[in-house]
Amino acid sequence: MVEFDFQNILALTKQGESSTLEFKKSTTQLKSAAESLCAFLNTHGGLVFIGVLQNGDVVGQHISDATQQEIANLMQKFEPHASINISYISVPNTDKKVIVMQALPHPNEKPYIFDGRPYYREQSSTIQMPQSRYQQQLIHRQNHPLAWDKQTATDYAMEDLDHERIINVFQQSIKRERIPANSATDDIHEILWRMKLLRENKLTNAAVVLFCKEAMPLYSQCLVKLASFRDQTKRDFIDSQQIYGNLFYLYEISQEFLRRHTSIASHFISTSDERIDIPDYPLLAVREALINAFCHRDYATIGGAVTVSIYPDSLEITSHGNLPNGLTPELLKVRHDSQPRNSLMADVLYRCGLIETYGTGTQEIVRICQEEGRPEPDFIERANVVVVKMYKASIKQPQKQSQQNELSERQKTILTLLENQPFLTNQQIMAELKLAERTLRRDLVSLSSLSLIESKGVGRAKEWFIKK
């Protein structure tokens, strides 16, 4: 899914209409727009811009609550339930907006129909699908079952869900403008439909995992195992729990367990009365690792779980299931394609803000650790599980350096600079010494792990100084 702004729209309109892009002047052409969306769903996906002329001029249109409601009603005419993201982009210096409608097809859900008819895309034209092509796609769908999270749930009904939590998540999604504001009065059925958690008017497995009141006994994989150990042998527990519940509840319980069993060290620096709090593990990185584990684990296998294990020198967050084909632990640290196993769940978590960008969670974990001068985490795949392992800064040293005379000349130069000019940011050190950002981060992690330097502040405001 692409996040749009006005500049994106201008760039795309210059390309003209194509097999994946269509322009409509106004919502008087909504029915035709929906037919094109259906065609995109049955081919390779695509975009409809409403408020753009055939020649590509962006004119926008006035958007009212009635307009948004008309669009919502139109979306209900797609079968099966279609993944169509709708956003409203302001036209600068006007009170008008462009409606962006993005069709995201699932290969195993084709053929899609709109208002009882299937369509497909041929170059820049939308055409009603021939019967033979429709039958071919139908046979393919029958031979390729849906992803587990999109399958309908058995023995669960609307009253088995936590309605208060559903409303809270929905309100957060509206607040982040990832669901239209005029849907605030939707009832529970309409909310679940808008979040794509209903299939053929029945709850999906994703709806149960996200919002069930009771997971047991039918959804025993909705489980988190929490443990704090005295040593690496796993024989001596400080605390151990196994808890069942919906994804949001398990995520909250896991965070609370981590707060209880990890420490925050506080100290004052000699040049200030400011207190610096340093947790055992970077909190934002732990949050990312937790939500990734709950979002992307394999729920189709009964008996799987998310596991949080706290050791004296490290923290492991383990999720059940292997990495998608073609993805390796090494690739998790760099830019890679998003391949969500549970796309319905990922979409809900994105809308309410627990996921900010698709496919970047593991890179974000690495980035946060680097920016905070922490040891880089390890990603491990073993025996049908994926593990994120984080280290306390005082335990794991990225390089085997134990004495200052074993430092590189570049690291010695950084120390000299900080002795003469304390409280410099990464950007200031980079500019002063003409260092690449990645090189500097690696050196700062090494010097910090040797307790030669420390920092205050976070992100770009973080300042480094010599540790006394």
Let me know whether 238 and 220 are in one domain.
yes
Residue 451 sits in a domain whose CATH number is 1.10.10.10
CA–CA distance, 420 with 114 (Å, rounded to integer): 70
Beta strand spans in 280-368 (E): 306-310, 314-320
Let me know whether 165 and 124 are in one domain.
no
Q: Which pLDDT tens digit goes with each residue over 80-103?
A: 878 888 889 999 999 999 999 998
Q: Is the pLDDT of residue 210 over 80?
A: yes
Q: Is the pLDDT of residue 448 over 90?
A: no
CA–CA distance, 324 with 327 (Å, rounded to integer): 6
Is 213 a domain residue?
A: yes
The average confidence (pLDDT) of the chain is 86
Is 1 a domain residue?
A: no
DSSP, collapsed to helix, strand or coil, labels residue 126 as strand
Is 132 a domain residue?
A: yes
Q: How confident is the model at residue 130 (pLDDT cuts 50, 70, 90)?
A: very high
Is 242 a domain residue?
A: yes
Residue 25 belongs to what domain range?
Answer: 6-144
Q: How confident is the model at residue 396 (pLDDT cuts 50, 70, 90)?
A: very low
Element (H, E) at 330: none
Let me know whether 245 and 345 are in one domain.
yes
Q: In 10 A of CB 183, how many CB atoms? A: 17
Is 226 a domain residue?
A: yes
Q: To the nearest 10°, report the CA torsion of 150, 156, 159, 161.
A: -50
**Domain boundary, last residue among 81, 112, 144:** 144
Q: How many CA atoms lie within 13 A of 122 on its CB side?
A: 5
Let me know whether 179 and 138 are in one domain.
no
Let me know whether 180 and 261 are in one domain.
yes
Q: Is the pLDDT of residue 395 over 50?
A: no
Residue 381 sits in a domain whose CATH number is 3.30.565.60
Spatial contact of 321 and 354, defined as CB atoms under 8 Å apart? no
Give the pLDDT score at 338: 66
Let me know whether 195 and 185 are in one domain.
yes
Domain count, the chain: 3
Q: How confident is the model at residue 468 (pLDDT cuts 50, 70, 90)?
A: low
Q: Is the pLDDT of residue 12 over 70?
A: yes
CA–CA distance, 100 with 90 (Å, rounded to integer): 11
For the chain, percent helix, then strand, then coil, each to nearest 5?
Answer: 35, 25, 40
Residue 39 sits in a domain whose CATH number is 3.30.950
Q: How confident is the model at residue 309 (pLDDT cuts 50, 70, 90)?
A: very high
**Domain boundary, last residue among 342, 372, 396:** 396
Let me know whether 391 and 409 are in one domain.
no
217 φ, ψ (degrees, to nearest 5): -95, -10
What is the share, in percent, of the chain residues with pLDDT greater than 90? Answer: 46
CA–CA distance, 105 with 83 (Å, rounded to integer): 7
Give the pLDDT score at 128: 94
CA–CA distance, 281 with 382 (Å, rounded to integer): 23
Residue 123 buriedness (CB in 10 A; 0-12 / 13-18 / 19+): exposed
Q: How confident is the model at residue 405 (pLDDT cuts 50, 70, 90)?
A: low
Let me know whether 386 and 426 are in one domain.
no
Q: Which pLDDT tens digit goes with each residue over 350-394?
A: 999 998 766 677 888 888 888 888 888 999 988 889 999 999 865
Q: Is the pLDDT of residue 337 over 70?
A: no
Is 273 a domain residue?
A: yes
Give the pLDDT score at 461: 79
431 φ, ψ (degrees, to nearest 5): -70, -40
Let me know whether 119 and 183 are in one domain.
no
Could you write out the three-class secondary structure of 157-204?
Answer: CHHHECHHHHHHHHHHHHHCCCCCHHHCCCCHHHHHHHCCCEECCEEE
Q: Which pLDDT tens digit goes with each residue over 19-45?
A: 899 999 999 999 999 999 999 999 888
Give the pLDDT score at 376: 87
**Domain boundary, last residue among 77, 112, 144:** 144
Let me know whether 251 and 390 are in one domain.
yes
DSSP, collapsed to helix, strand or coil, labels residue 34 as helix
Let me know whether 39 and 83 are in one domain.
yes
Let me know whether 210 and 271 are in one domain.
yes
| pTM confidence score | 0.61
